[in-house]
Amino acid sequence: MKIAADGPRSPATLAERLIAQGKALLPELVTLRRAIHAEPELGLQLPETQRKVLEALAPLDLEMQTGTALTSVVAVLRGAHPGPTVLLRADMDALPLQEATDLPFRSTNGAMHACGHDLHVAGLVGAAHLLHAHRDELVGDVVFMFQPGEEGFGGARLMLDEGLLDVTGEHPVAAYAVHVGPGPRGTFLTRSGTVTASSSTFSVEVSGRGGHGSRPHEVVDPVPALAEIVLGLQSFVTRRFDVFNPVVLSVTNLAAGTGASNVIPGSARLSGTVRTMSPEALARVEAELPRVVAGIAEAHSATATAEITTGYPSVVNDQATTERALEVLRAAFDGRILAAPHPTMGAEDFSYVAQHVPATMLMLMASPPDLDETPAPNHSPHAMFDDAVLGDQAAALALLAAQTLTAHAPATR
């Protein structure tokens, strides 16, 4: 990838230069994105994706590190002048879905980039090239975080454990991430405060006493108890929690029996996900859900246990960092920067970074404009994202990094 030199002091503003150079990079970013999309990988070990990232960054003068517990890539760009550090992040892993699109570069290996991580990677590679072309203007350093294992594996936390925030010798003053989603192509959304839910999983086991299906009066049937627990949990979240501090609970798995239609099983199980918007709501779920489950089971003369496993915390955007990001991007992308009206109930392990660094996560709408139907959501086998956004995505990340370094730079240098 090559960026045409326009001199360190072009009459155009930095934003105008980055946007123009991002558009010039677009064909190469599209090629990279489609190569990643066609060969998705799952979890913490993404050797082919890591190889593609390393090759795309190889022409740049960066300090490179790869992970030990996971196939991460951490690249450091040293600016021409000493100053603070800013972190930019992209997640790299795919989902275990069989792709159902008709894209010419669709995956055929049983996995799919249905959450747009292929665009995240290509966009961050683009930002690295843009900032490298302007390194003589940078007052400080930029860390590029390419992360495996966002889809439930906690890859961000592992990278923190491996010293992500210490690679420049300066703790980052800000961190940014862009996540694509369905909506009007090229529109950015963000907000201060909570932007994603926390995610937890729960499992319930109901124990009864099995027997012959023709003589239910002689057994303790766990199946009706399990069915009532499913309904009781829906009432639990709608009647015990404030609608303005929402809880979303979904039962996603049910299991009982051995397959024989005349056997009442001795136990039955369910599991699912619960999303919360505050630590207080999560603590209440953890305290009260097991009691609801046990009470319903007892009404059926059965017993039940519930286990809740806490997952990703909420991403909470730092107010000052986010307000500055909105101001910078509105000046650069007139009319395409909106304040998100409310958080999303999805979860993100960028939350671990945001617990340690003032952070902003932005959504970038990327639906193809020629779709004849409602765009499929993230995590759908029909999800499609238009890689025409990659130039602006790269420019936005580069601009946020450069402007943040300037804002936090020492008074004299």
d(CA 175, CA 143): 9
Amino acid 7: pLDDT: 45
In DSSP terms, 201 is beta-bridged to 273, 309
> Residue 249 in contact with residue 273, Cβ under 8 Å?
yes
> Residue 399 in contact with residue 328, Cβ under 8 Å?
yes
Amino acid 373: pLDDT: 80
pLDDT tens for the chain, 413 residues long, are: 767 555 444 558 999 999 999 999 999 999 999 999 999 999 999 999 999 999 999 999 999 999 999 999 999 999 999 999 999 999 999 999 999 999 999 999 999 999 999 999 999 999 999 999 999 999 999 999 999 999 999 999 999 999 999 999 999 999 999 999 999 999 999 999 999 999 999 999 999 999 999 999 999 999 999 999 999 999 999 999 999 899 999 999 999 998 899 999 999 999 999 999 999 999 999 999 999 999 999 999 999 999 999 999 999 999 999 999 999 999 999 889 999 999 999 999 999 999 999 999 999 999 999 887 899 999 999 999 999 999 999 999 999 999 999 999 887 54
Amino acid 109: pLDDT: 96
Given the candidates 3.50.50.60, 3.60.10.10, 3.20.20.70, 3.40.630.10, the CATH classification of the domain at 14-195+314-408 is: 3.40.630.10
Torsions phi, psi of 86, nearest 5?
-120, 145
How many other CB atoms are found less than 10 A from the CB of residue 72? 25
d(CA 184, CA 367): 6
Please enumerate in sequence order all residues whose Cβ is within 8 A of that of 316, keeping only pairs 6 or more positions apart, or say none: 193, 194, 195, 351, 354
Domain extents for the chain? 14-195+314-408, 198-310
d(CA 161, CA 15): 34
Instruction: Mark 234-255 as b/e (b = at least 16 C-beta within 10 Å).
Output: eebbeeebeeeebbebebeeee
Closest C-alpha among 170, 154, 178 to residue 76: 170
Q: Output the pTM of the full model.
A: 0.90
198-310: CATH architecture? 2-Layer Sandwich (3.30)
Q: Is 235 left (phi over 0), alpha (psi -120 to 50) or beta?
A: alpha
Amino acid 18: pLDDT: 96
Closest C-alpha among 361, 381, 375, 385 to residue 197: 361
